[in-house]
Amino acid sequence: ASGAALLLAAQGMNTAGRAALGKKKYKDSTRYFRRSAAAYEALLEWMDANQLDDAQKREAHIRAIQIYLYVQDPEKAGPHLQAIYDPNRKEHFIERGIALVEQMRKNYREALQRWQAIEKGVERRTNDWFEARFYIIKDMAEAGQKEKAIKLLKFTKVLSPGLGGAKWKPRFLKLE
């Protein structure tokens, strides 16, 4: 298959996955997203065989990462993250992806360190900050630091009583 055909297949399955998700057909969306990821995998193989530039490969890796994180498949997301990870560049998407993969793998101490670094690198009280703070508290509790997690949750509630609004507040409240 040609690169263009593989890209069209990947994009088409991704579009079908989003449509199914919009209709709350979660099993269908997951199936379409997995097919899209498989097409991105084939596209990456084709790109390697045809020596395409790194920017195009990076974009295909990013698409695969997004899909594998959505379908909660850390074992498949991990290699794509490794392929584009540069420790000298702090890229929020990559750092977040690594933290989520560690979270899904139940490597809570590693995930905690990643989320703490993310929290330090984002503006306070933004969506990214609330996401990082949520996972910091969750990972502390999972890693056996429950008292520390409870204190941080209480402090967060004082600091930001709205707890990030409709998106994050219910999640924080479930941690109690």
Interatomic CA distance for residues 150 and 163, integer angstroms: 15
Mean pLDDT of 132-145: 97
**pLDDT above 90 (res 124):** yes
Q: Are 91 and 114 in contact (CB under 8 A)?
A: no
Residue 136 to residue 52: CA distance in whole angstroms: 39
pLDDT tens digits, one per residue of 88-103: 888 899 999 999 999 9
pLDDT at 1 over 80: no
The confidence score (pLDDT) of residue 88 equals: 86
HEC string of 66-133?
A: HHHHHCCCHHHHHHHHHHHCCCCCCCHHHHHHHHHHHHHCCCHHHHHHHHHHHHHHCCCCCHHHHHHH
- Picking from 168, 145, 115, the residue whose alpha carbon sits closest to that of residue 160 is 168
Q: How much is the mean pLDDT over the chain? A: 93
